[in-house]
Copies of this chain bind each other. A is one copy, B any other.
Amino acid sequence: MAGPAFTRLDVDERRAQLLDLGTGLFTRFSYDELSMARIAREAGISKALLYHYFPSKQAYFTATLQDKAAELAALTEPDPGLPPLEQIAGSLDAFLRWVEANGEAYAKLVRSAAAIPEVREVVDAVREATAHRILEGIARGQAPPAPLRAAVRGWLWFLDGVILDWIEHGDIKRKKLRRLLVGTLVGALTAAGEGDLLDRH
Which residues in chain A, 156-195, are within 8 Å of chain B measured between CB atoms?
A: 156-162, 165-166, 169, 171-172, 176-177, 179-184, 186-188, 190-192
A interface residues, tally (CB under 8 Å)? 39
Q: Is A55 an interface residue (CB 8 A)?
A: no
Q: Is A83 an interface residue (CB 8 A)?
A: no
Q: Is A111 an interface residue (CB 8 A)?
A: yes
**Is A147's CB under 8 angstroms from B161's CB?**
no
Within 8 Å by CB of A157, from B113, B150, B157, B188, lies B157
Can you list, as one digit per residue, whether each of A111-124 has a CB less than 8 Å from chain B (1) or not (0)?
11111000000000
- Number of copies of this protein chain within its complex: 2
Residues of B contacting A188 in the complex (Cβ-Cβ under 8 angstroms): 158, 180, 183-184, 187
Q: Is A24 an interface residue (CB 8 A)?
A: no
Q: A153-B165, A184-B188 are in contact. List 12 more A-B contacts (CB 8 A).
A: A114-B114, A114-B115, A147-B177, A150-B177, A151-B184, A153-B161, A153-B162, A154-B184, A180-B191, A183-B190, A187-B187, A187-B188
